Structure 1
Amino acid sequence: MTSSLHARLSAPLLLTATLAALFVAPARPVAAAPSAECPAVMPVSRLRAMLAAERDGSGPEVVGQGLTVTRGTEPETFAAGNFSVLDDGLGPDRDLILADLSGAGITKPDGSVDAGVWAGMSGSPVYINDRLVGAVAYSLSFGPSALAGITPAEDMAELLTADTTATRQPTTVRLSDSERRQVAATSDGPVSGDLRTLPVPLSLSSVSPTRLAWLRRQARQDGSPLLPMAGGKVPASVTAGDPGDIRAGGNFTAALSYGDITAAGIGTTTAVCGSQALAFGHPFTWSGRSRLSAHGADAVRIVKDPVFGGYKLANPTAPVGRVTQDRFAGLRAVLGGTSVPATTPVTSRVVAQNRSDETYATDRGRTEVVRQGDLAFLSLIHSYVNIDYATDRIGPGSSRVTWTIDGTADGRPFSLRRTNKYASGYDISFASVFELYRQIRRVAGFRDADVDVTGVHVGAKVVEQNRYRRITDLRVKVGDRYRSVGTLERYRHPAGTPLRLRVELTDHTGGRTVRDFAFEIARRARGRAFLTVAGGESSASGFCFLFGDCESGGGSGSFDDLLAKLDGAPRNDDLLAQLTLFRRDRPRPVARVTDERLDQVVRGRRRFSLRVVAPID
């Protein structure tokens, strides 16, 4: 922090009557007028001195107050006491302040724990003698607790400077035995072995409870710090809101997208300083430099969870600025309509049909995605949610999906258009979107070119019937008749004679059909050969929840090579046949592939080994 900024932040705060009410009013909702004045900051060194004086009796008890929102938009106060400081508790030269909190849904009127320090309190400012001490950011690892870890305000104030080079620190703070005893000495209850970053409630609009439960499981499995939950929608066509909605102790939302899928992290504003705001007290996505959109929110309620701790439900409001820094000490946002970041539109049109191919519903959707890195994930969520909505069911079915990915690579425009068919006996919505997810991830994540995706459009026709053809037999022509490969052992095929195949398929109704293929075999060919016949349907469904510990997307050769590979990949309705010949006169095997596109998804696989021998003269 520069000396001038430190002096400005630490200068005595000239409180108006409104600000006095904000900081010292009793525990009830209070109206806080937005202020562009930077709050006075209490350094950790000053807090240590006050705590030392409290212990030796030369000073008063150290008590504080905080601000947060439990319902609506107006901050209310909570009490803070039993302060202590863990030296370097968050890392080198990063102290951690601890305090017991009460009120604001954390505790009940009798002092017992209610929801505990709940997810969504992240960033709630804590004051001592009207000076900002820090922001609530940590809690005990398991279950509701009133004990909070507080990020020092002087660390957060450094975010107001230009770019910071703060190093990455762990989101879990493991306490030593002595530290645990120190915390327990000032806490009313038992203390576990570590503190953790408060989970960030990830508000997701339009997602059904069934899908939301799956996303929560996936987030835990992938190690994501986010807590997916139901939330409200910000319209895709919304105009910029009022920056005055962002105030100390008020709701603060960092949005990944808005529109049909409004995906936003819910937290609290720590301070407003001119046209900048500080929030969260810990990272959201930990991207360093950031370009998320900043929003206010309207809190619905605090939900109590006896296992994982409480959390806030909220409806995000219109964008009011841009999150420019996402660092260990919290978020920094620049406020104002001109700061709202540009977005990438994801649009869709879904047609739902019954078993007789009669259309009964059509749905159009739009989601504005703020960051390219989140485009694949949010396109997947957008697509399956809109398929769910159009079909009004979760169950088996078939689909034909076409998507277009538009953008530029190193300034050159590109457009990737792909069509494929899908079938599922369980969940056609999910089955229809994973290839889209993987292709966007490959394109947007290409490392060897400056790729900017400018739009994604998805068109889908979904039928309430699981339609497919399954490979049930593979036959080889021997002499004048076709014989099943299951009856052929050590088959020897004469070189110079075409290898003729017949593939038998059975569809979902029991109907049978055949397709014939032929491979030319050179007269000089000799050696082992392997024949594979398979449907093009891919069973891969790789998926990684936002910010989880998963592999990232990448490139393959040049960007044009990648587009050609994605465009030319086999489709699920392709019937593929490949003959691989290991010739004695060549160092590498020779593979030949032929295919035929059918009217439905093709499933199954058959393999057959043979030997090509000298021709029969």
Structure 2
Amino acid sequence: MRLLRIAAAFFFLLFFLGGSAPAASFRPSEPSMDIASLRPGMKGHALTVISGREIVRFPVEIVSIIPKKGSPRNLIMVKASGPIIEKTGGIAAGMSGSPVYMNGKLIGAIGYGWNFSEHNLGLVTPLEDMVTIWDWPEKKITIPSVSAPSPDEEENGGEKKEKNRSGEKKTGEKTDEKKDGEETPPEKPEDTVKLSAYGELSPLFIDGVSQRAVSLLAGMLGENRPVPGGAFNGEIPVEMNPRLSPGEAITVLLAWGDVTIGSTGTLTATAKDGKFLAFAHPFLGRGAVNYPVARAYIHNVVPSLESPFKVGSPLRIFGTVTHDRPQGIGGRIGYFTPSLSATLNFTDTDRKTSGRKRFRFVPDPFLGAKLSSGIFTGLIDDLWGRKGQGTADVTVLIQGRGMGQGWTRKNMFFSDKDLAADALKEFSELLDIIFLNPFAEVYPFGVTLTAEFTEQPRLMFIEGLEVKGDSFKTGDTVDVEVLLRPYRKKQVKKTFKITIPKDADGICEIIVRGGGIDPLNQSAVIQGWKTIANFRQMFTEMSALETNNEVIIEFNYDKVVKKGKGEKNSEGPVSKEEQELLSEVKKRRLKDGTLQIFKSEFVVEGLLRKIIEVKPGDEKNDQTTQGQDETAEGEKE
């Protein structure tokens, strides 16, 4: 697509948001036992939640210690038993992170089970492997308040956050909103313990979007079998000064609000300094992250021949997952990650109905664009009540730090198959450019998508191009007649004026086309003559992109830098246009009359060309005009 051309200019430098906090060890707040002390036949118990929020225990027995190459270094095979396991049908998805104790000491947490097998058997990740996630540093960034970001807060905020402990109010943190916090650049996905013989026991759930969006988002997150789940009505509140216990049900969140995406598991252990461990396997395996984590309510455990699973809903956000590693997940209680806000204003013009949806999503620049785009698509599916052909009028408003009143783009889209998906492709690409820009942070960040959908094909076709005459002189103004036909309506005629430039010569062309069809592009960037130099310029170039509802008339001719008197030899035989950014090309050509743009209320289809011959104008008049121009320039100086 044309946006990929401009995107290439912005991806020369990939940047990481924030700095790295020093690695910190994890010391559980209860006694523990290392794997060297374990033997087959030892009996103990595990803690989990199977209904509501009540923590229950069930017996476990060590079957064997399985050595591994890689991380974790060992897995402990256990057999679960008792009435709880009989009721659930075995070890269930959602029990990942359930702490296991021998002789009253913590040895690790249940992390894996087998599908279509004996569900009483499971694999425990040893505690000594789980705590190693804290050998890696946390990568944090402090997000200043939108209203009053001070330089001191920007430079020292991360350090202030590091010093806080669970239950203490953070400096500059609002107690009723989850805006301040730290933001993490993603790392390369790490090798996870995901063998064909067994699977991870933390079920992903996606609620609030269409079924096709569920499949799309699940596939993007590497999960082929999301389970039913969801959230209670309204926002998920923040719980200040939380007190948590091993065995509690928790949910890691990627999106929440009118849409909820998360994974349910179990809290393994806490430390006195506010750190926690959970899951006993990776969530997405993205390394240092910033994902909200909430207490969960378990509706029930559903027995299944494939694998039993818990159905849960998030209750209150109590902290943030800052590590997503092969050995498990971990984070900080009482630290609340920043979130990005999104709003969809949708109108079905055929039924004259409208709706609004709001949600928040995690501040992951490498995941956010695809995640939010998939969510918007699923929301539109539900609000429109169909999937198929139609026309959309889409306006995107993006607001963030350093963006003043924000940036807006309006475009129209037609699809004969899947309007919601096709209309949001550009939106996803634009967000990618903004999230991954190498110039400046845009957090806090908010995006509003206003979409008007209709089943009607609001199309306009270019049917004719007429130019009176085949030969013209430089400096002439040419009347260009364009015949346009709105879909199944009467043909209309529009007349535009194109000016023949003074350096044109020989065979040239006049072209009329729909916006986005063989568009003007960032040739200066693609060929290496220029680059996008700053944050403001990035948005200028994004605003210069063509829209699908434009009728564009161009005069095209070969142009090179002519060497000779008054010309610099170092410029080389490259056209001026090839050395200009897209915004500069459009501005100059609109001014000199070689480009005309007409915005319509339709998606414009078609492209027509007309060949003309250009001859030199009156040389005397040209010299007189040149002299007048030089005199005017001298007076100006």
Equivalent in the alignment of 1:300: 299
Q: Work out the CA distance in 2 between the residues paired with 1:154 and 1:86.
A: 15
Equivalent in the alignment of 1:353: 349
**Once the 2 structures are TM-superposed, how far is the Cα of residue 391 of structure 1 from its aligned partner?**
3.3
Equivalent in the alignment of 1:505: 484
Give the letter aligned to residue 394 of structure 1. K
Equivalent in the alignment of 1:280: 279
Q: Work out the CA distance in 2 between the residues paired with 1:280 and 1:538.
A: 50
Question: Residue by residue, what CA displacement relative to the aligned partner does 1:281-338 show, whole Å, maximum 9, x if unpaired?
Answer: 223244444332210112234456767x5543321112122223333322223324xx
Give the letter aligned to residue 535 of structure 2. F
**Aligned equivalent of 1:95, options 60, 64, 73:** 73
1:123-272 superposed matches below 5 A: 123-139=97-113, 146=119, 148-159=122-133, 163=137, 169-172=190-193, 198=200, 200-216=202-218, 218-219=219-220, 224-225=222-223, 228-234=226-232, 237-241=235-239, 246-272=244-270
**Aligned equivalent of 2:408, options 410, 417, 423:** 417
Give the letter aligned to residue 397 of structure 1. G
Q: Helix, strand or coil: the match of 1:256? A: strand
1:332-343 superposed matches below 5 A: 332-336=330-334, 339-343=335-339
Q: Does the aligned pair in 1 maintain the 2:193–2:326 contact within 8 Å?
A: no
Assess, with a 3 A threshold, how the Cα gap between structure 1 residues 145 and 505 changes in structure 2: closer, same or farther: farther
Equivalent in the alignment of 1:54: none
Q: Work out the CA distance in 1 between the residues paired with 2:52 and 2:610.
A: 70
**Once the 2 structures are TM-superposed, how far is the Cα of residue 255 of structure 1 from its aligned partner?**
1.3
Q: Work out the CA distance in 1 between the residues paired with 2:480 and 2:304.
A: 62
1:397-416 superposed matches below 5 A: 397-409=390-402, 413=404, 415-416=406-407
Q: Does the aligned pair in 2 maintain the 1:501–1:517 contact within 8 Å?
A: yes
Question: Residue by residue, what CA displacement relative to the aligned partner does 1:400-445 show, whole Å, maximum 9, x if unpaired?
Answer: 2222211114xx7461122222333334333443333322222122
**Once the 2 structures are TM-superposed, how far is the Cα of residue 502 of structure 1 from its aligned partner?**
4.1
Assess, with a 3 A threshold, how the Cα gap between structure 1 residues 237 and 87 changes in structure 2: closer, same or farther: closer
Q: Work out the CA distance in 1 between the residues paired with 2:232 and 2:65.
A: 40
Assess, with a 3 A threshold, how the Cα gap between structure 1 residues 333 and 527 changes in structure 2: closer, same or farther: same
Q: Does the aligned pair in 1 maintain the 2:58–2:85 contact within 8 Å?
A: no
Q: Work out the CA distance in 2 between the residues paired with 1:322 and 1:212.
A: 24
- The alignment's C-alpha RMSD in Å is 4.0
Q: Work out the CA distance in 1 between the residues paired with 2:136 and 2:540.
A: 42
**Once the 2 structures are TM-superposed, how far is the Cα of residue 573 of structure 1 from its aligned partner?**
0.9
Equivalent in the alignment of 1:595: 597
TM-score by length of 1: 0.70
Q: Helix, strand or coil: the match of 2:213? A: helix
Assess, with a 3 A threshold, how the Cα gap between structure 1 residues 63 and 171 changes in structure 2: closer, same or farther: same
Q: Does the aligned pair in 2 maintain the 1:349–1:459 contact within 8 Å?
A: yes
Q: 1:572 and 2:548 equivalent?
A: yes
Q: Helix, strand or coil: the match of 2:251? A: strand
Q: Does the aligned pair in 2 maintain the 1:64–1:80 contact within 8 Å?
A: yes
Give the letter aligned to residue 545 of structure 2. A
Q: Helix, strand or coil: the match of 1:90? A: coil
Q: 1:369 and 2:371 equivalent?
A: no
Give the letter aligned to residue 572 of structure 1. N
Give the letter aligned to residue 120 of structure 1. G
Q: Does the aligned pair in 1 maintain the 2:549–2:600 contact within 8 Å?
A: yes
Assess, with a 3 A threshold, how the Cα gap between structure 1 residues 335 and 477 changes in structure 2: closer, same or farther: same
Equivalent in the alignment of 2:54: 74
Q: Work out the CA distance in 2 between the residues paired with 1:414 and 1:385.
A: 28
User: Which sections of structure 2, spanning at least 5 residues, go unmatched?
Assistant: 1-23, 140-186, 520-530, 563-572, 578-593, 619-637
**Once the 2 structures are TM-superposed, how far is the Cα of residue 563 of structure 1 from its aligned partner?**
0.9
Question: Residue by residue, what CA displacement relative to the aligned partner does 1:130-176 show, whole Å, maximum 9, x if unpaired?
Answer: 32222223455x755645443211122345689379997412466xx
Give the letter aligned to residue 567 of structure 1. S
Identity of aligned residues (%): 24
Q: 1:436 and 2:427 equivalent?
A: yes
Q: Work out the CA distance in 2 between the residues paired with 1:256 and 1:414.
A: 27
Question: Residue by residue, what CA displacement relative to the aligned partner does 1:39-59 show, whole Å, maximum 9, x if unpaired?
Answer: 322212222xx24xxxxxxxx
Q: Work out the CA distance in 2 between the residues paired with 1:561 and 1:429.
A: 30
Q: Helix, strand or coil: the match of 2:36? A: helix
Q: Work out the CA distance in 2 between the residues paired with 1:5 and 1:435.
A: 44
**Once the 2 structures are TM-superposed, how far is the Cα of residue 242 of structure 1 from its aligned partner?**
7.5
Q: Work out the CA distance in 2 between the residues paired with 1:107 and 1:316.
A: 24
Q: Does the aligned pair in 1 maintain the 2:193–2:281 contact within 8 Å?
A: no
**Once the 2 structures are TM-superposed, how far is the Cα of residue 264 of structure 1 from its aligned partner?**
1.6
**Aligned equivalent of 2:447, options 456, 461, 465:** 456
Assess, with a 3 A threshold, how the Cα gap between structure 1 residues 167 and 510 changes in structure 2: closer, same or farther: closer
Assess, with a 3 A threshold, how the Cα gap between structure 1 residues 167 and 400 changes in structure 2: closer, same or farther: closer
Q: Work out the CA distance in 2 between the residues paired with 1:249 and 1:570.
A: 55
Q: Work out the CA distance in 1 between the residues paired with 2:83 and 2:344.
A: 41
Q: Work out the CA distance in 2 between the residues paired with 1:609 and 1:380.
A: 40
Q: Does the aligned pair in 1 maintain the 2:213–2:374 contact within 8 Å?
A: no
**Which sits farther off after the overlay, 160-169 or 509-518?**
160-169
Assess, with a 3 A threshold, how the Cα gap between structure 1 residues 530 and 613 changes in structure 2: closer, same or farther: closer
**Once the 2 structures are TM-superposed, how far is the Cα of residue 570 of structure 1 from its aligned partner?**
1.4
Question: Residue by residue, what CA displacement relative to the aligned partner does 1:513-557 show, whole Å, maximum 9, x if unpaired?
Answer: 3444454334653456566543226899xxxxxxxxxxxxxx943
Equivalent in the alignment of 2:465: 475
Q: Helix, strand or coil: the match of 1:126? A: strand
Question: Residue by residue, what CA displacement relative to the aligned partner does 1:61-88 show, whole Å, maximum 9, x if unpaired?
Answer: 2344333334433344455446333434
Give the letter aligned to residue 250 of structure 1. E
Assess, with a 3 A threshold, how the Cα gap between structure 1 residues 104 and 302 changes in structure 2: closer, same or farther: farther
Structure with the bigger percentage of strand: 1
Q: Work out the CA distance in 2 between the residues paired with 1:345 and 1:164.
A: 24
Question: Residue by residue, what CA displacement relative to the aligned partner does 1:99-145 show, whole Å, maximum 9, x if unpaired?
Answer: 15445999868xxxx977654332222333332222223455x7556
